Chains A and B, each alone.
Chain A
């Protein structure tokens, strides 16, 4: 069985992943304490909670779950002196295709995460926190539960945290295989014991009406780990890492057609896709050429190799100049990826070489979203399945000429018309694949009339006849059925 590269790349800057794959490391509390663990929690409790919130604001930390929303701003939405309790939820529902970073934090460094959670609880005046771990991580849930017990025994949480009189309880809550639980309001519904139907904003902003209708902060695993480092370094010092408005380090996960896939913690914006693929991942397989990159989890819009992207950059004299760059020269940070029309998302980079069929790839992604739509909003519930069925048909060789435009129209009618961002997540792949690789769709969708429906979509009678059920045909069948009943 393959294993990932165990040694960090020299250009990496490992903070969050410092202990991942360390040969002398184990995930118990003694190892963590020997390494200086929980020193930041001890430091945090000497600070005023509001000062920690201000440090996080000063750090410029942006959420690592996908949306890239500034963490300090999110925390600032919480009214600390209100009558309701405040809850903290760690989102460990990692399930965006292409992303595999939280897995390693949970399995190998659970105490770093727990320390980040406890500091955040102190900063936000939280007494009850949950770690929502996806159902497919049973081992991670056990490890995290053990870590919580170990920390409780050392009084890092419980009735009287480190003698401060502050009560903190942290519990693990397991999901059960639904991608939508990664959406924060869906996650909250799920934690309340219901179907994970996302809530509409406004009014249900978690910071105001979250878990049990109380103010709630939902942060990604990696984001909460960064809080520990912000307390250690101070917000201003932390903000020097990376690039302005794109601060800190982030874990980039690379999969697909590269020689050495894996995870790399880099200063945000310090490298380009070209460097990532060549230097970090050993390039593409022999004789292959780069075709496309999905830069931030499968919902991020695909980027095509060979295409030129226009960026606006500040010149030395302060004026804005336009610059044309190729895919290889795009920097991995939030703002650059947004400027080229995609997103940094969850940091999951999927690389595809010239052996890949883009229609097939989109079909695979469409099947994922069709399966994972929660079914609450009609455009998404129906549309995600239609898109999957259409690409199914094109892949099977039965695509008709109109299919690409029908696909686009379906996608255009989902994005922006749903309660949560899943609508965008499921239509962006279709919209971007069609826009970037129109010739591949056109080459495959060439039939003038659709073939008979595949058996799983239709009744036996119709497939046996091997003809298309037209209106007359259908009516004819109806008449026959009525005749038969007589």
Chain B
């Protein structure tokens, strides 16, 4: 796996933050790969395992445990809508419906308990969406994140505008 030199440098710098145990760099490295490539491939996991002197399963078990890591690409713009109590009381479920309608996403039913693959992607690949648990801004419900940007007190009109402002093309949006 050939990595761009600045990306490789970032990886080495990150590992240096953990002088006691390289294994601690597993999560930060997974974040870096997901930011760079949009998702975490088996190849990436093998590369990380080798770099940190771990077995590949040690990386895979981390990827499957943490909800933010995904093993296949999301849409160009990834939307996270908060589902938890205060947001649900403030219209989080309605916001989700509105986003889906406007972004042309058919949400697939996720497995019992909401586990499994929570991300639904629009047909054109421009948008993807998932419900996430509490984003810690309950006083400004309902809230969402579009890529890395956080938005609070989102009305349906705000949501429509946010979608319109999303880029059509980009290197990759996390």
Q: Are A135 and B140 in contact (CB under 8 A)?
A: no
Contact B115 A371 (CB under 8 A): yes
Q: With the chains together, A262 CA to B138 CA distance in Å? A: 9
A139 & B150 in contact (Cβ 8 Å cutoff): yes
A261 within 8 A of B: yes
B128 within 8 A of A: no
Which residues of chain A from 90 to 107 have any CB-CB distance to chain B below 8 Å in the complex? 94-100, 102-103
Is A19 engaged at the interface, CB distance under 8 Å to the other chain?
A: no
> A179's contact among B17, B20, B23, B133, by CB below 8 Å, is which?
B133
Our pick among B24, B65, B67, B88 for the contact of A191 (Cβ within 8 Å) is B24
Query: Which of A98, A139, A176, A196 meets B30, CB within 8 Å?
Result: A176
Chain B residues within 8 Å of A456, by CB: 109-112
Tell me which of A139, A194, A350, A389 contacts B86 (CB under 8 A): A350
- In the assembled complex, A471 has its CB within 8 A of some CB on chain B: no
Q: Is A337 an interface residue (CB 8 A)?
A: no
Chain B proximity mask over A175-202: 1 for CB below 8 Å, otherwise 0: 1111100000000001111111000000
**CB contact under 8 A between A192 and B23, given known A95-B133, A364-B88, A456-B111:** yes
Q: Does A365 contact B (CB under 8 A)?
A: yes
Q: A9 CB to closest chain B CB, in angstroms?
A: 14
Contacts A257-B89, A371-B115; is A193 near B153 (CB within 8 Å)? Answer: no
A5 to B149, CA, bound (A): 22
Which A residues are CB-close (under 8 A) to B135?
136
Decide: B115 and A95 in contact? CB cutoff 8 A. Answer: no
Interface of chain B residues 100 through 130 with chain A (CB within 8 A) = 109-115
The listed residue (B89, B110, B132) touching A177 by CB distance below 8 A is B132
Q: State whether the Cβ of A367 lies closer than 8 Å to any Cβ in chain B.
A: yes
Chain B residues whose C-beta falls within 8 Å of the C-beta of A194 in the assembled complex = 23, 26, 58, 61-62
Cα(A193)–Cα(B15), bound, Å: 12
B37 within 8 A of A: no
B27 lies within 8 A of A193 (CB): yes
A192→B21 contact, CB < 8 A: yes
Q: B138 touching A255 by the CB < 8 A rule?
A: yes
Question: Contact: A4 with B115, CB < 8 Å?
Answer: no
Shortest Cβ distance from residue B159 to the other chain A in the assembled complex, whole angstroms: 10
- Complex-state Cα separation, A58 to B17, whole angstroms: 35
- Distance in angstroms between the alpha carbons of A465 and B128 in the assembled complex: 35
Contact with B along A403-423 (1 / 0, CB 8 A): 000000000000000000000
| Interfacial chain A residues near B153, Cβ < 8 Å | 1-3
- Total residue contacts A-B, CB cutoff 8 A: 176
Q: Is B31 on the interface with A (CB-CB < 8 A)?
A: yes
Contact of A134 among B30, B31, B136 (CB under 8 A): B136
A4 and B86 in contact, given A136-B68, A178-B65, A193-B27 (Cβ under 8 angstroms): no
B173 → chain A closest CB, angstroms: 12
B98 adjacent to chain A (CB < 8 Å): no
Give the contacting residue for A2; candidates B88, B152, B174; CB below 8 A. B152
Residues of chain A within 8 A (CB-CB) of B158 are 1
Is B96 among interface residues, defined by CB-CB distance under 8 A? no
Give the Cβ gap from A361 to chain B, nearest Cβ, in Å.
6
Residues in A whose Cβ lies below 8 Å from that of B24? 173, 191-193
User: How many angstroms from the CA of A254 to the CA of B151 in the assembled complex?
Assistant: 19
The residue on B at minimum CB distance from A370 is B113
B148 sits at the interface (CB 8 A): yes
Q: Which residues of A contact B68 (CB under 8 A)?
A: 135-136, 176-177
Beyond A2-B152, A194-B62, A212-B21, whether A364 also contacts B138 by CB under 8 A is no
Interface residues in A58-99 by Cβ distance below 8 A to B read: 94-99
Query: Residues of B contacting A139 with CB < 8 Å?
Result: 148-150
Q: Are A97 and B27 in contact (CB under 8 A)?
A: no
- Closest chain-A Cβ to B165's Cβ sits at a distance in Å of 13
Q: Which of these, A177, A190, A294, A368, contacts B67 with CB under 8 Å? A: A177
Residue of A nearest to B59 (CB): A193
Question: Smallest distance from the beta carbon of B118 to chain A beta carbons, Å?
Answer: 9
State A364–B30 Cα separation when bound (angstroms): 30
Say yes or no for B25: interface residue by CB 8 A criterion. yes
Q: B11 at interface (Cβ–Cβ under 8 A)?
A: no
A283 to chain B, nearest CB (A): 16
Q: Which 10 pairs show the lowest CB-CB distances between chains A and B?
A: A2-B153, A176-B66, A255-B138, A193-B26, A177-B68, A177-B67, A193-B23, A255-B86, A261-B139, A176-B68
Could you write out 14 A-B pairs with CB less than 8 Å apart? Answer: A4-B140, A135-B31, A176-B31, A178-B66, A193-B62, A212-B21, A256-B85, A261-B141, A263-B139, A361-B89, A364-B84, A364-B85, A455-B109, A456-B110
Chain A contact residues, CB within 8 Å of chain B: 1-4, 94-100, 102-103, 128, 134-139, 171, 173-179, 190-196, 212, 253-257, 261-263, 294, 298, 348, 350, 352, 356, 361, 364-365, 367-368, 370-372, 374, 385, 388-389, 455-457
New A-B contacts (11) at CB < 8 Å, excluding given A194-B23, A364-B88: A1-B158, A97-B138, A136-B132, A136-B135, A138-B174, A173-B27, A175-B27, A177-B68, A177-B133, A261-B141, A263-B139
